Structure 1
């Protein structure tokens, strides 16, 4: 009998035979259901160890709908997509989410877009979607599958999910622009991305509103996120050849900011005395650049942790915990520290 069992997977039926109870009783004990006596529970658990039974996670998830796994999907074009080669913000979100998931006894599955994997149904209890776009098709698909969803950043223009981790991007942009104005900046350019997520849309609106209220000339241009530093460099070269040229450029990402500094160097424009450069998202690229770049720390690790906490609350049928919106922190560095600001 033991040799036969070793040649196949030990089943719940084997446990029932070894314990001298019904399959239903074994199922109730293992799933902590029913009203089995303590003596019966002991018999079943001893039989489990004796025959070497180990539950099949896939089969269990089919019965209970509980996989013990949370999913996370990153939506921006320059975010993590099938690898860990992405922006630092998204890597920090993934790290914070993974740490929180493990602390609650869950695994975290970094998923490619569900739209590109129709033939693979990933078993997850719930999903975090990072920076969804307007009417995001990934959210549509997950909600159609009736999977609980939490977003990090709202879906721009709608509110289709029960859970949200928000960030005050308006305050972040204002703090950055106040700093640039204090250095003497009067002609501003915002080199934004082309993705239409709430981070970029709200940042652009805040940029325009601030400039109007301060009577400062401000222009917004867009660069594809996937073009990276080189795309930003080409756009910045063209912008810096205009008259009058910008005296401060805000870049959506640190990669864009490095391209802008390269463009300025190629045209003989000094940073920061003639051109201040800052980024809306901090990273090692900004901190470690030969001219360290002023940037906003978006606290991705906290956003990831909060996302898991809200999702688990949803899974437990609770009203999600209200988290205060993440406030970006301004990290002032050499790229904007002009000492001889003029009026």
Structure 2
């Protein structure tokens, strides 16, 4: 078996220098780095990852726990996090929580058992009452809106502001009877639907547009199927509307289908806007207007927060940080184009 000492002899450097190259240490001359890398290639050297993990107490892997891996938004988010993690020399293991509290607790347990160096957790099931469960001795970053005053770093979307801008965009395009397709049950619980409902209501109030509760079409699941069914219910209910704000793009794609099923022209009769700016939205017919929450910025911030927490091991922890991403309105064909 080829050892690090063999590589060092072949490259004419010390074993410590080879280690610096393997760990991408910045203070290695380019010429030396190239010589070491060539020796690694020539000797077909393989790093003993298990031994290195035992020595450093780290795995070089972080966990990403999301509600559903088959949703376009979470697939796009995962790709951005993998890209951001690579900049920190970290690999990403993805867990599916099933949008349940139990699944999220399982993801926390995996990190607790040191299978990962840290965890990025997109929360749906855990709520403010579960804050104490996050008081752990390993790094966690929360993505989402369910836990605001917890003891860990938190990266959030501009949900209220983005929803207000989406609704205002419809109003600017001439809509006055604007429906909302969301997850329903607007109560004390803080989640994506409740925050985006707040932004929707604020935009109506600011523009002096009357709120009609009959135009709120809840769907139990934020899916394409749910969006299509909600759109059909709105049309079949006979309540006139000329715009629809959907709390996610996935729901909005379903709404486009449901409106087409009922012969409603978009954007001629009804304008539609979503939220998330998933890649598929640019290819629907008509193409989907949306709120872009800057996924690369969110992913990069979450990974940067986590990497810093990992590096703090054994040191005094800084106070928990909260970051809310910026957003832009992306106007496409479903609201009449740019």
TM-score by length of 2: 0.71
SS at match of 1:111: strand
1:216 aligned onto 2:210: yes
Q: Distance in 2 between matches of 1:185 and 1:275?
A: 8
Using a 3 Å threshold, how does the CA distance of structure 1 residues 86 and 229 change in structure 2: closer, same or farther? Answer: closer
Tell me how large the CA RMSD over aligned residues is: 3.7
Q: Distance in 1 between matches of 2:91 and 2:183?
A: 32
Unaligned runs of 5+ in 1: 1-5, 16-29, 31-48
What residue number does 1:98 align with? 82
1:105 positional shift: 2.0
Q: How many residues align?
A: 285
1:147 aligned onto 2:124: no
Q: Distance in 2 between matches of 1:247 and 1:112?
A: 37
1:161 aligned onto 2:151: yes
Q: Distance in 1 between matches of 2:203 and 2:123?
A: 24
Using a 3 Å threshold, how does the CA distance of structure 1 residues 260 and 303 change in structure 2: closer, same or farther? Answer: same
Write the mapping of 1:1-343 to structure 2, written as runs, cut at 5 A. Answer: 57-58=49-50, 61=53, 64-75=56-67, 79-80=68-69, 85-87=70-72, 89-113=73-97, 115-116=105-106, 121=113, 123-135=115-127, 143=134, 146-156=137-147, 158-193=148-183, 198-213=191-206, 214-219=208-213, 220-225=216-221, 228-317=223-312, 319=318, 325-337=324-336
Contact 1:291 1:335 in 2 (8 A): yes
Q: Distance in 1 between matches of 2:82 and 2:325?
A: 19
Q: Distance in 1 between matches of 2:298 and 2:190?
A: 16
Contact 1:90 1:300 in 2 (8 A): no
Q: Distance in 2 between matches of 1:319 and 1:274?
A: 53
Unaligned runs of 5+ in 2: 6-18, 20-39, 98-103
1:327 positional shift: 1.6
Q: Distance in 2 between matches of 1:170 and 1:137?
A: 23
Contact 1:173 1:207 in 2 (8 A): yes
1:189 positional shift: 1.4
Q: Distance in 1 between matches of 2:262 and 2:124?
A: 37
TM-score by length of 1: 0.70
Q: Distance in 2 between matches of 1:104 and 1:136?
A: 31
Using a 3 Å threshold, how does the CA distance of structure 1 residues 93 and 285 change in structure 2: closer, same or farther? Answer: closer
Larger radius of gyration: 1
